[in-house]
Amino acid sequence: MSYELDTRLVIGLASSALFDLGEADQVFRREGEAAYRAYQLENRTQTLAPGVAFPFIKRLLSLNDLSPTDDPLVEVILLSKNDPDTGLRVMDSIKSHGLGISRAVFLQGRSPHRFIDALSISLFLSANEIDVREANAAGHAAGQVIDVLDSSFVDEDGDDELRIAFDFDGVLADDQSEAVFQASGLVGFHEHEQRNAGIPLSPGPLAPFLHKLRKIQALEEQKVMDDRSYVRKLRVAIVTARNAPAHERVITTMRNWDVVVNEAFFLGGVEKRRVLEILRPHIFFDDQQSHLTPAAAALPCVHIPFGSLNRKL
């Protein structure tokens, strides 16, 4: 009997998102593929240090504790541009860190986005901008992890909670309202959103990912009903530059999609980092670099290159 992926939350993950490959990448860029291959083989026993998406992936996989071991809720599949030989160090590091990742695809330099549909992947994460943009252009949900040298984020032990934060327009919803803002300014945008407050927006690139998270939320809600002492593991937040009166359409959209968020922040231009530093999500998704650049120094951030604002000439 085949192993079905369609009913699970499946994340496709490049090794560059999971681990710190800075030194190996420098060898590749400076000396070429042969030197890179030799470097990875020589350092195979050296476990790779966690990268930007590591805390998110580790805690996401812990949600499998909510289901039988033979029927996991979450599946993480490595989509690597290494060849199988140089990819051994990545697989060994996954094992060393105790991550429940057993499925992998090695492509020796070829683009990974071609296999996203075949593997029922709801979200692809990579540090490689070109790979992410190719996946996005092909209609897949894909994000580039933002790697900064001076990040102050520390994944604190002591609880099993997974906190995920999303921007709204261009991430969960499409960018039609953003287009109105660009064309008509803030006043025109607010007038438009008031007129359409009862009309839900169309789904954006990460809406299917949120729907899969909703299934896990529903399981936890049932656990709370069965045992009032149960503490939820998953918390989902929206952190958006919208404010009243444009907030109502966000709520209308979430209700229409039958999804639930635990927290919503309608900041109206207040720098998102100020809230995110207190919320401390294990990952934050936004479509605008202007929001991500300050936040990435404090927490793991992912750029979603979707919509007109992200089209490169």
Active-site residues, by number, are 167
Read off φ and ψ for residue 165, nearest 5 degrees.
-120, 140
Q: Classify the C-alpha dihedral 2-73-76-217 as positive or negative.
A: positive
Read off φ and ψ for residue 143, nearest 5 degrees.
-140, 145
Provide the 3-class DSSP secondary structure of residue 110: coil
Cβ-Cβ contacts under 8 Å for 77 (sequence gap 6 or more): 10, 11, 12, 13, 101, 103, 104, 105, 119, 121
- Using the structure block, give the residue that is written with the tokens 């998110």: 56
Which two structure tokens, joined as six digits, stand for 173? 């919803």
Cβ-Cβ contacts under 8 Å for 75 (sequence gap 6 or more): 5, 8, 9, 10, 11, 103
> Rounded to an integer, what distance in angstroms lies between the CA atom of residue 212 and that of residue 214?
5
According to DSSP, residue 225 is labeled H
157 half-sphere exposure, CB direction, 13 A CA radius: 0
- Using the structure block, give the residue that is written with the tokens 């504790």: 65
- Using the structure block, give the residue that is written with the tokens 């812990």: 62
Alpha helices in the chain (DSSP H): 15-18, 22-31, 33-42, 54-62, 88-96, 129-137, 176-195, 207-226, 247-257, 272-279, 289-295
